[in-house]
Amino acid sequence: MTNNNSTSVLVVEDDHLVCEMVIGILGELGYDIVGEAADGHNAVEMVRLLKPDVVVMDIKMPRMTGIEAAILIQRHFPTPVVILSAYETQDLTKRTSEAGVGAYVVKPPKANDLMRAIEISIARFADMSRLRKQNKELQEALETVKQLTRLLPICTNCKKIKGNDGCWHVLETYLQDRSETTFTHGLCPECIEGENQ
């Protein structure tokens, strides 16, 4: 038995005996079966409630298919999903991938194959999460740069800058808030001369 105690799994399968098989294999692999669902609709609800580390799910089920459920899970409760199906077509593989499914295993699975699929799905999900985070940060950074590269309205008298919020900001503060710039303070030769006079 492999020790996978820390990984909780939700099994979604409408066939009782197949469900027995999946639970049996996952049990041997040491996964923690936190729940069973018999259709896609139940699966989404149980993901929301149980927050499993990974979902092992059939495709063809009553009420809601595994692909439809995977899309909803990725959209609302991002969780790694492994599809377990007796069907094996390129079109189906493509559709599951587009639905955000991390791995696809054909029934009946070998224990190692199922475990590897779960690991890949989790790792891929982590990568995706990281990439999503980085993407978000980059988007924000880009937004800041955009703010600094556009035309800036500046008061000719007091040199304050009008921000996107419509308020007038002191130049120093405006730039510090929107860039990595840090200001040191001093006087230029012309101002020194002006001070002396």
Partner 1 sequence: MIDTSKLIDLLTSESAGVWEWDLETGYVEFNDAWKKTMGFRCSRAGHFTIDFWLDLLHPDEFVSIMHEIFRCRDGLIPVFYSTHRLMKQSKDWITVLSIGSLIHSEEDPGSNTFLCTQFVVSEKASELGYLRFQRDIGIVLSATTDLNVAVKKSLEAILKFNSNIDAGGVYLLNHETDTFELFEYSGLSEHFIEENRLVPADSTMGILIRSEGPVYFQYDDYSPFPQEHEEGSQLLINAVFPMKHLGILEAALFLASETHTDFPASAFDGIEGVVQNISGTIGRIRAENRMKASEEKHRILLERIESPILAVNADMKILFHNKALETIFDCRFIGNHDLFSVFDAVFARFLTVNFAKVLTSGNHQRISIDHGTNIWDIVFSSVPNGAIAIMRDITTSARAKKELDFKIRIESLLVDISTGFIKKHGAALDSGINDALFEIGSFLDVDRSYLFQVDNKARTVSNTHEWCVSTVKPKIDKLQDLAFSLIPWWMEALERHETLNITAFNELPEQALVEKVILGQQEILSTVVIPIVQGKNLIGFLGFDSILIAKKWNKDIIDLLRIVGDAIGNALERNRMQLKLQMMYQKADKEAKTNAILLKEVNHRVKNNLSEIIGLFYAQIRFIKQVNNLNDFLPDMISRVQGLATVHSMLSYSSWEPLKISELARQILSNTTSAIFGTKSISSIISDTNIKVDSRQAHSLALVFNELVINSTKHALINSDKLLIEVDFHHDGSGNIIIKYRDNGPGFSEKVLQKEQSGLGLSIITNMISKNLQGHLSMFNDNGAVTEIVFQERQRNEGSELK
24 forms part of the interface with partner 1 (CB under 8 A): yes
Nearer Cβ to partner 1, position 111 or 128? 111
Beta carbon of residue 50, minimum distance to partner 1 (angstroms, whole number): 19
15 forms part of the interface with partner 1 (CB under 8 A): yes
- What is the full DSSP assignment across 141-181? HHHHHHHHHS---B-TTT--EE-TTS-EE-HHHHHHHHSS-
Beta carbon of residue 12, minimum distance to partner 1 (angstroms, whole number): 12
One character per residue 106-125, x = contact with partner 1 (rule: CB under 8 A): xxx-----------------
25 forms part of the interface with partner 1 (CB under 8 A): yes
3 state SS of 63: coil
Place of tokens 């840090």: 182
**Cα gap 28→181, rounded to integer Å:** 58
158 forms part of the interface with partner 1 (CB under 8 A): no
Kindly tell me which residue out of 2, 20, 159, 194 binds partner 1, with binding defined by CB under 8 A.
20
Q: How many residues does the chain have?
A: 197
**Cα gap 96→67, rounded to integer Å:** 6
- How deeply is 15 buried, as exposed, middle or buried, from its count of CB atoms within 10 A (0-12, 13-18, 19+)? middle
Place of tokens 């690991």: 119
Nearer Cβ to partner 1, position 38 or 57? 38
Beta carbon of residue 107, minimum distance to partner 1 (angstroms, whole number): 5
Residues that bind partner 1 (CB under 8 A): 14-25, 38, 59-60, 62, 65, 86-89, 92, 106-108
